[in-house]
Amino acid sequence: MSFVSVGKENSGSIDLYYEDHGAGKPVVLIHGYPLSGASWEKQVPVLLDAGFRVITYDRRGFGNSSKPTTGYNYDTFADDLHKLVNHLKLRDFSLVGFSMGGGEIARYFGKHGSKGIKKAVFIGAVPPFLLKTQDNPQGVDQDVFDGIQKAVSTDRYAFFTEFFKNFFNTDVLMGKRVSEETVKACWNLAATASAKASYDCVPTWHEDFRKDSIPN
């Protein structure tokens, strides 16, 4: 198992678990909530067959990475990604972010620039800004995020069950495009996340990325 240290909490190291496979131009895949790098299992072999070097990693608090009580914000997530990029000495690489993973990319550009990055791909991502405000009237009400956070704190396992029903649209797609076993596997993966990360990440979904500079 491969890890990179991204910080410390008290006497312990905060380590990110990553996998690095193949050769060619590097592609870094950044997962969504509440999963881990393992959620890219369908995409990794396709990219490898296409001749890419494929890197996945688990966000702090999720998967096999350390589960600290601090750092669940996009400034820290982007710094974590930057440390992984530097650790692997990546050049001419692409970033692909799904859902929460898109936030890492946007904030990475805002904090660390675009040096060495060839492409950036946002898939169903949280940027640029999801919260309903006076200058973003089409956004989502704060009450929605508050309700999600309350559900996570009350019984996150029950929340994950409902989350994946909606995530996979199981009332329509179960047995057609997704299996019951896949949904269970995702639930099991989500259950391994830290309770603190599961709770603290919810407000990051409405982070305002509109001032983060993304190159043309």
The yes-or-no verdict on residue 191 having pLDDT over 70 is: yes
- pLDDT over 70, % of the chain: 98
Mean pLDDT of the chain: 97
Comparison of pLDDT for 203 and 215, the residue scoring more: 203
- pLDDT over 90, % of the chain: 98
pLDDT at 1: 79
The yes-or-no verdict on residue 47 having pLDDT over 70 is: yes
The CATH number of the domain covering residues in 2-206: 3.40.50.1820
Question: Residue 88 belongs to what H/E stretch?
Answer: helix 74-88
pTM across the whole model: 0.96
The yes-or-no verdict on residue 215 having pLDDT over 80 is: no
Give the C-alpha distances (Å, rounded to integers) separating 199 from 69, 101, 168: 11, 17, 21
CA 211 – CA 216 distance, rounded (Å): 14
Q: In which band, very low, low, confident or very high, does the pLDDT at 37 lie, cut at 50, 70 and 90?
A: very high
Judged by average pLDDT, the poorest of 112-121, 180-189, 205-214 is 205-214
